[in-house]
A and B are shown apart, each in its own frame.
Chain A
Amino acid sequence: MDGFLNATVLLSNFVLVPGLAYGAQLALGALGVTLVYRVLRFANLSHGDLMAFGAMLGVLSTWALQAAGVSIAPLPTALLALPLAILGTALMSLFIETAVYRHHRLRRSAPAIFMIVSVGVMFMLNGLVRVVIGPDDQRFADGARFIVRARDFEAMTGLSEGLSIRVSQGITFAVAMAAVAALFYFLNRSRAGKAMRAYADNEDLALLSGIDPDRVVRHTWIIAAALAAIAGTLYGLDKSFKPFTYFQLLLPVFAAAIVGGIGNPVGAIVGGFVVSFSEIGLTYAYKKFLTYLVPPAWAPEGLMQLIATDYKFAISFAILVIVLLIRPTGILPGRVL
Chain B
Amino acid sequence: MSPRALLLFAAMAVLLLAVGQFQSWTVALTIFNLCLISAVMALGVNVQWGYAGLFNVGTMGFAAIGGLAAMLVSVPPVQAAWTAGGGGMILSALIIAATAAAVVAARRWLAPPLRGAATVALILIGFLAARHVFGPAADAIENVDAARFGFLGGLGMPIIFSWLVGGLFAAGAAWFIGKIALGLRTDYLAIATLGISEIIIAILRNEDWLTRGVKNVTGLNRPVPREVDLQQASWFLDLSARLGVDPVPFSSLFVKLCYAGLFATVLLLIVVLLERAYHSPWGRMMRALRDNPKAAAAMGKDVKWRQLQAFVLGSAIVGVAGAMLTTLDGQFTPGSYNPLRYTFLIWVMVILGGSGNNLGSVLGGFLIWFLWVQAEPAGRILMEIISSQVPKDFAFRVHFLEASAHLRLFLMGFILILALRFFPQGLLPEEQSRRRPRHVP
Contact = CB atoms under 8 A, between A and B. Distances in A.
A37 B187 CA distance: 10
B188 interface: yes
A250 B194 contact: yes
Nearest to B402: A134
A205 interface: no
Given A112-B186, A120-B416, A311-B206, A251 B408 contact: no
Contacts of A302: 135
Contact of B410 (A116, A127, A308, A324): A127
B417 A131 contact: no
A121 B421 contact: no
B414 A120 contact: yes
Contacts of A132: 403
B407 A131 contact: yes
A316 B196 CA distance: 11
Interface string B394-434: 00000110111011111111111100110010000000000
A116 B350 CA distance: 11
A123 B400 contact: no
Contacts of A121: 413, 417
A52 B224 CA distance: 44
Given A310-B202, A321-B192, A110 B420 contact: no
Interface in B153-205: 180-181, 184, 186-188, 190-192, 194-196, 198-199, 202-203, 205
A245 interface: no
A156 B401 CA distance: 54
Interface stretch (B27-35, B236-244, B259-267, B339-347): B339-347
B438 A110 contact: yes
Contact of A320 (B55, B191, B399, B417): B191
A117 B420 contact: yes
B437 A109 contact: yes
Contact of A313 (B195, B402, B438): B195
A131 B55 CA distance: 30
Interface string A295-328: 0000000100000101101101100110011000
A280 interface: no
Interface stretch (A64-72, A87-95, A100-108): A100-108
A115 interface: yes
A126 interface: yes
Given A111-B440, A127-B409, A311-B206, A316 B417 contact: no
A135 B405 CA distance: 11
A317 B417 contact: no
Nearest to B417: A120
B374 to A, nearest CB: 16
B413 A43 contact: no
Max chain B C-beta neighbours (<10 A), residue from A112, A113, A121, A250? A112
A45 to B, nearest CB: 7
B71 interface: no
B351 interface: yes
A123 B186 contact: no
A103 B409 contact: no
A8 B206 CA distance: 31
Contacts of A116: 347, 351, 416, 420
A130 interface: yes
A310 to B, nearest CB: 5
B198 A317 contact: yes
B417 A251 contact: no
B192 A124 contact: no
A155 B383 CA distance: 58
B402 to A, nearest CB: 7
B190 A131 contact: no
A313 B198 contact: yes
Given A108-B437, A119-B344, A317-B196, A130 B409 contact: yes
Nearest to A325: B180
* Residue of A37, A110, A121, A308 contacting most chain B CB atoms (<10 Å): A110
B192 A320 contact: yes
Contact of A124 (B203, B410, B437): B410
A324 B55 CA distance: 17
B202 A314 contact: yes
Interface in A18-56: 37, 42-43, 45
Contact of A127 (B53, B348, B408): B408
Nearest to B339: A247
A120 B413 contact: yes
Nearest to A109: B437
Contacts of B407: 127, 131
A122 B410 CA distance: 9
A163 B198 CA distance: 34
A254 interface: yes
A310 B437 contact: no
A325 B183 CA distance: 9
Contacts of A225: none
Contacts of B399: 134
B437 A113 contact: yes
B410 A123 contact: yes
Nearest to B436: A110
B340 A123 contact: yes
B184 A131 contact: no
B413 A124 contact: yes
Nearest to B403: A131
Contact of B199 (A104, A113, A117, A317): A317
26 contacts: A37-B187, A43-B191, A45-B190, A104-B420, A110-B437, A111-B187, A112-B186, A113-B438, A119-B416, A122-B344, A123-B416, A124-B414, A127-B409, A130-B409, A131-B400, A131-B403, A131-B407, A134-B402, A134-B403, A250-B194, A251-B195, A254-B191, A258-B188, A317-B192, A324-B188, A324-B192
Closest 3 A-B residue pairs measured CB to CB?
A: A123-B413, A127-B410, A127-B409
Given A113-B424, A131-B400, 16 more contacts: A42-B187, A43-B191, A111-B186, A115-B186, A116-B347, A117-B420, A121-B417, A126-B340, A127-B412, A127-B413, A130-B409, A131-B410, A254-B191, A317-B192, A317-B198, A321-B180
